[in-house]
Amino acid sequence: MRSSLAGPRVLLRKLREVMAEPINAQERLDKIVHLIAANVVAEVCSVYILRADGVLELYATEGLNKDAVHQTSLKVGEGLVGLISSDARPLNLPNAQAHPAFAYRPETGEENYNSFLGVPILRAGRTLGVLVVQNKDHRTYFEDEVEALQTTAMVIAEMVAAGELEAIAQQGTTIDVIRPMHLKGVALADGIGLGHVVLHEPRVVITNLIAEDADTEKKRLEESVTRLRQSLDHMLASGEFSQHGEHREVLEAYRMFAYDRGWIRKIDEAIRNGLTAEAAVEKVQSDTRAQMLRQTDPYLRERLHDLDDLAHRLIRELMGKNHSGEDELPKDAILIARNMGAAELLDYDRDRIRGLVLEESGPTSHVTIVARALGIPTVGQVEDIVSLVESGDAIIVDGEIGQIFLRPASDVEQAFADKVRLRSKRQEVYRQLRDEPTITKDGIEVKLLLNAGLLFDLPSLEDAGADGVGLFRTELQFMVASAFPRMQEQHALYARVLDAAGDKPVTFRSLDIGGDKVLPYLRLAQEENPAMGWRAIRFGLDRPGLLRTQIRAMLHAGAGRSLRIMFPMVADVSEFQQARDYVERELKHLRQHGHDTPKDLKLGVMLEVPALLYQLDEIYKEVDFVSVGSNDLFQFFYAVDRGNTLVAERFEALSASFLRALRKIVVVGDKMDTPVTLCGELGGQPLSAMALLAIGYRNLSMSPASIGPVKAMLRTLDLSALSEQLLVKLEAGNGTDEIREFLTNFASENNIPV
């Protein structure tokens, strides 16, 4: 006989009966190990479950000393069981005691057994425990026995994930699958969200693991694989995808896997062992995932995502297209996704979303921009979050510092609930400040404006009590679209913005793409230094068709009203002059065709390239206004990439050198009687806003959430007193830390909230 196995299908059929019996978890586990031992013809069968403290505890055994159950334990990596758990791979040994990792546990009576076969209990690639069989004689277990044991392990994994074992956990211990976890990521959108996990791509819940008939399952698999391949071939052949490089590459990868014989063979094998087709796909995916998760090669990890997606598609195909497994969105949904398009986020009911967690995505990705605009606390770059959560898990998203608490302990939950209450109390204070005048304690008037870019930013104008829109980032419309917005679409957006603003001024910035702001439908050549590359006004002047279309859309929208346009990344006066020429040509064109034009048109530049600091007199002569882009200006001033965390915090914006540069801009502006605004992130932080006011700025533009805190700061600020002291320090060239320390002390001595 080739194998001592009575047939994995028989085993699975019996297992199904055991799973359906109305017995408690311990009895069920005992029956399972008994069944396996009988069917694999093993003298021993044991189940070890991973606890939250990283220990594998014996939960059931047939053959070893029963008293050892819930007593014997091994750490992950310790003994053969610990090794299987950490490697997530089966171990098949004819002489286990000779293995260097063997750890003897006298209470179990293990010394009588020589051969050993153990497999990890896996779910979505995570190890939840280990299943072991042992025999006295020296034998190597057959491949189909390994398969059968892995399949059984999958059934146990479902039991663990369903929380069935919690009832029999020893007091003071927790099973790993429900372990609270603290994960770090990158803060992408501010705010705290408490709620429950909703998987953006819900894991299909496979309720039927064990097949009635393998031939039927095989046929189902074949049909679904054919349909899947056809749909991928079709997508690739259709014009829609053949244009877009990146999508196409992903689809090609899908197709490669879909035709991979090894993948299909493994699924077939799992079906032969008694699983339904969908359970077989899930099992193979889980095994692959467990192995690939230990890969550090980013290319392979990316391929794992492709394979995950493909397995998902196949499971959906098998379970019927309409089976989504999705329940209604809970009222406190925290969305979890590997990544998500901006439009997909907009499809959700905003009122039910408390937070967003992504495995990928950086601060400038589209979904982040939209999440920020919608006020959804968001954390990105949280490794493996999708496989660590189960739908419905309690979770906290801290978008303030970029951390996640999964299945939080009650004290953590309490602390965050308090934090949320505190934040909303503060918001209430800001709301009350809304209609108060924006003047300092010593009576100096300041204008606080809004940075915006999409329609849903506009209600903030009213809600936050802003004095207007200081920076409208027109590229956002381009970034969330799937193709270049046409002139009419641009016109429609700008007109709605102006309508919403009423009498308040709006400053539109011409398209600032390139650098880190990429358009999916516009593939530009790879650049070595994209921040200093072909971007913003440079791109606009070289592609005048695009710039002129945009200018025309703005002029149309501003017909009969006041309109302000500024150009980003201007490094030389001549660039502004060229841009202005285009505006004049468009104006002429409109007039010639009998269109209305703006009744008052103001043109300005963003000052964000240091070269312009040395052309201040010249530029002020040309423009109607200047807006300082402190994000880029700081980046180029210190030569530190604003998106690179290794260097971005190396230098201090509140240093004498940078503040002197900023002061020069405003002093010359005042002298030339030209208004100056600052619209970088610096203006939105109360402490740095305080410094900006002190060096002469009177117009600051910031994100909606910053207006309240900055207003609260300035209304308690004796600006003249601060200004006098700070200017002395700047003259003296005081060191970096000293200025921040001075400002912090000034604020605390004068009870200024910063």
Residue closer to Mg ion by CB (options 93, 471) is 471
Residue closer to Mg ion by CB (options 189, 606) is 606
Query: Does 182 participate in catalysis according to the annotation?
Result: no
* Options 45, 491, 556, 679, the catalytic residue: 679
Bridge partners (DSSP) of residue 406 are: 181, 395
Contact 371, 348 (CB under 8 A): no
From residue 310, give the alpha-carbon distance in Å to each of 205, 304, 388, 419.
Answer: 16, 10, 20, 41
Q: Least separation, in Å, of the C-beta of 508 and ligand PEP?
A: 13
Best CA proximity match to 152, nearest among 60, 260, 57: 60
CA dihedral for 413, 414, 415, 420, sign (positive or negative) = positive
Q: Least separation, in Å, of the C-beta of 473 and ligand PEP?
A: 6
Among all chains, which residue has been given the structure tokens 């009498």?
503
Q: Does 604 bind Mg ion (CB under 5 A)?
A: no
Q: Name residues whose C-beta falls within 8 Å of residue 268's C-beta, 6 or more positions apart in sequence.
A: 218, 221, 280
Q: Identify what 630 binds: ligand PEP, Mg ion, none; CB under 5 to 8 Å per kind.
A: ligand PEP
Can you tell me the distance from the alpha carbon of 31 to that of 367, in angstroms, rounded to the nearest whole number? Answer: 49
Contact 150, 88 (CB under 8 A): no
Best CA proximity match to 319, nearest among 218, 226, 254, 224: 224
Please give the residue ranges that form the binding site for ligand PEP (CB under 6 A): 471, 473, 512, 608, 629-632, 679-680
Q: DSSP alpha helices (H): ranges in 348-446?
A: 366-374, 385-388, 410-433
Q: Least separation, in Å, of the C-beta of 484 and Mg ion?
A: 21
Q: Least separation, in Å, of the C-beta of 76 and ligand PEP?
A: 45
Residue 465, token pair as written in the block: 């009590």
Q: Identify what 680 binds: Mg ion, ligand PEP, none; CB under 5 to 8 Å per kind.
A: ligand PEP
- The dihedral region occupied by 384, where left means phi > 0, alpha psi between -120 and 50, and beta the remainder, is left
Q: Does 470 bind Mg ion (CB under 5 A)?
A: no
Q: Identify what 190 binds: ligand PEP, Mg ion, none; CB under 5 to 8 Å per kind.
A: none
Can you tell me the distance from the alpha carbon of 32 to that of 18, in angstroms, rounded to the nearest whole number? Answer: 7
Q: Identify what 679 binds: Mg ion, ligand PEP, none; CB under 5 to 8 Å per kind.
A: ligand PEP
Residue 538, token pair as written in the block: 């440079």
Residue closer to ligand PEP by CB (options 597, 631) is 631
Interactions with Mg ion, residue window 606-625 (CB under 5 A) = 608
Q: Taking CA 495 as the corner, what is the angle to CA 492 and CA 498, rounded to the nearest 5 degrees?
A: 150
CA dihedral for 481, 487, 493, 498, sign (positive or negative) = positive
Candidate list 377, 402, 408, 629; residue touching Mg ion; CB under 5 A:
629
DSSP three-state, residue 697: coil
Q: Least separation, in Å, of the C-beta of 553 and ligand PEP?
A: 19
Residue closer to ligand PEP by CB (options 586, 608) is 608
* Options 45, 366, 491, 556, the catalytic residue: 366
Residue closer to ligand PEP by CB (options 40, 682) is 682
Q: Does 632 bind Mg ion (CB under 5 A)?
A: yes
Query: Does 679 participate in catalysis according to the annotation?
Result: yes
Q: Identify what 282 binds: Mg ion, ligand PEP, none; CB under 5 to 8 Å per kind.
A: none
User: Using CB under 5 A, which of the segments 186-194, 298-306, 604-612, 635-643 binds Mg ion?
Assistant: 604-612
Residue closer to ligand PEP by CB (options 8, 568) is 568
Q: Least separation, in Å, of the C-beta of 516 and Mg ion?
A: 10
Neighbours of 599 (CB within 10 A): 11
Q: Least separation, in Å, of the C-beta of 476 and ligand PEP?
A: 9
Helix (H) or strand (E) holding 135: strand 126-135
Residue closer to ligand PEP by CB (options 274, 514) is 514
Contact 383, 356 (CB under 8 A): no
Contact 581, 551 (CB under 8 A): no
User: Using CB under 5 A, which of the segments 73-81, 325-333, 605-613, 726-734 binds Mg ion?
Assistant: 605-613
User: Using CB under 5 A, which of the segments 19-27, 126-134, 370-378, 626-634 binds Mg ion?
Assistant: 626-634
Can you tell me the distance from the alpha carbon of 417 to that of 617, in angstroms, rounded to the nearest whole number? Answer: 53
Q: Least separation, in Å, of the C-beta of 630 and ligand PEP?
A: 5
Q: Does 79 bind Mg ion (CB under 5 A)?
A: no
Q: Residues binding Mg ion: what is the number (CB under 5 A)?
A: 3
Binding site for Mg ion (CB under 5 A): 608, 629, 632
Residues marked active site are found at: 366, 679
